[in-house]
Every structure is written in C-alpha cells, then in structure tokens.
Structure 1
Amino acid sequence: MATISRRAMVLCSHPGRLLNYSVLLNRLEFYHLSLCLNLDEVRKALSGRQRYSLFIHDDFRPGPNELMSLKALSQSNTFRQFLLVGNYSAEERRGLMQWAWANRVPLLDVLDKPISLAQLREVTSSMVLYHSEDEQPIRKSVREFSDFAPAGDLPPARSGCECRG
C-alpha cells in the first residue's frame, strides 16, 4: 500500500507565524509545505497542481466571500481538509462548524490563536487520509479564485437561466 504524502498549505499574513507553522508541522511529519503570505502566493502554489492533505487559514474572518471561497477550495479536490485559526466566540465557532457541515466542507476544527503543538497534533491526528481522491482530477476552477478577489475585482454577476418546460 502506497504511503500518502502529508502536504499542507498555510495562509497567514504574518511571516513570523508562518515560520512557527513550519516548525510545528515539521514536528508532526508534514514535510511538504506551501507557506503563503497572501492569496497571490496561494494561486502560485496551486498552479503546480499538487494535492494537499491540509489547508490552514490563519486569521480567517468569516464573511460571505470568504465562506464561498472556502467552499470553492473544498470542491476543487485540491485540499482534503481544512483548519481555521483566529479569534472566535463560541457562537462563531459553532456557526462555522455548522456552515461547513451544511456545505460539505471538510473542516477539522476552528481554533483560537495562538495554537500549540498539542492542539495541532490533536487536530491532525483526526485527519482522514483518502487514497481514492488521488485518482480524481483537480478542477481547473481552483486556479481562478474569483471569490478571493476584492469586491471591485469580481467579474459581473450572470443573470439566471431561463427554464424551458
């Protein structure tokens, strides 16, 4: 049976925290890392069409665009599971987990920062590694990420289609 490479991508706007994530993840045997300061770096990393076991979004701020982007990333078949890190109330944490469940986003956990090695170990030990997904193509839409663009950069909305009876 082939081993699955544990590959992680971290999106965090603070270089020092990115380095901390690299140390923590290496201790947990994630040696293939893409550390991204911004969405442009995420796009560049995804252009290599690699699959990731884990996507960590540090300082995730839940809003309509961010949630839709997370859903698009989930549906892209590039990321298997997600971890959100930030400062959340119990109600926000519960709401994010419910949203993820309803939208079939494989969200492992929603953690308050700073996170420790013990917390990250607990989360990653609950990961499910999927062999069958390696055979599924990565969807092309993962390169576009229009959902991540600032509001002024979004393409115009399309009108609905007409239904024919």
Structure 2
Amino acid sequence: MQTPILKNDWRILLVEDHPFQLMATQCLLENFGFTQLTATDSAAGAVQKMLGARQPFDILLCDQCLPDLPGLELIQFASHRGMIRQAILLSSLTALELDGLEQQASEHRLPLLGCLTKPLKQSDFRDLLTLARA
C-alpha cells in the first residue's frame, strides 16, 4: 500500500464509464488520502450526484470520452451552475488533443486545472493539486 500523498477533506467527484478504470482510479485516490470521494459511471449520474450535494464538489475528475456527454461539456455545465470549484480531465487522448481541450477550457473560462492521461499517475495528479491549492 502506498503512503498517502495528501490528507485533506476535499470532496472529489470521479466520473469514469469503464468499470475497471473507475475502480482503479477510486482505489488510487483513496490511497492518496482522499476520503470524501463520490464515484459514478456517467455524466447523467454525475449530474444527479451534484444536484443532490449540499455544497459544490471541490474537484470534478472526469473522463473526456463519456458516452452520454463529453467531459469538457460536463465541466461547463457544472461550473456554470456552481456545482464544482475546479476540474481535471482524465483521458487516453493524444497530447495534441488534450492541449486543444485545455485551450477550449481557457477560452470558455472553465475551472480546468489540466488534463491527465490514463492510467492516473501520482506525480501528475499531485502537480495539478498544487495548482488547486494556489
């Protein structure tokens, strides 16, 4: 078992449509020290979780290639309604495609910290969380 990299009370909403990736990422986040983790396998499920939440999620960590709505559109929907504070896209797209998504997020002033490739790497995740603290 890894030593947790962070111990905090951030509320994270994880959205991943592939069951194995969802379970693996959830386990990694728990090993990183996150205890307030909510997971779902679709954008529709994420919207339900956000609507039922008493306060905005600190971080929306979602797959870009969800079958019911692209991750960036989910971020836009959630941020415009005050349902999230910040977001991270998780994807297996190419670096060029991820750069394009980051540019789109910037143009629309979305609270995207960045894009991470699958599988989630501890050092990359930690680097983005440093931005979230700033």
TM-score (norm 1): 0.65
Structure 1's unaligned 5+ residue stretches are 130-165
What is aligned with 2:127? 122
- Among 81, 91, 94, the alignment partner of 1:76 is 81
C-alpha offsets along residues 78-137 of structure 1, whole Å, 9 cap, x if unaligned?
1111111112223212211111111111111112211222222222222137xxxxxxxx
Q: 1:52: how far off? A: 0.9
For the residue of structure 2 that corresponds to 1:47, the secondary structure is helix
What is aligned with 1:25? 29
Structure 2's unaligned 5+ residue stretches are 1-7
* Aligned CA distance change for structure 1 residues 102 and 40 (closer, same or farther; 3 Å): closer
What is aligned with 2:16? 12
User: Percent of counterpart pairs with the same letter?
Assistant: 24
Q: 1:19: how far off? A: 2.0
CA distance in 2 between counterparts of 1:44 and 1:73 reads 11
- Root-mean-square deviation (CA, aligned residues, Å) is 2.2
The aligned length equals 123
CA distance in 1 between counterparts of 2:73 and 2:120 reads 25
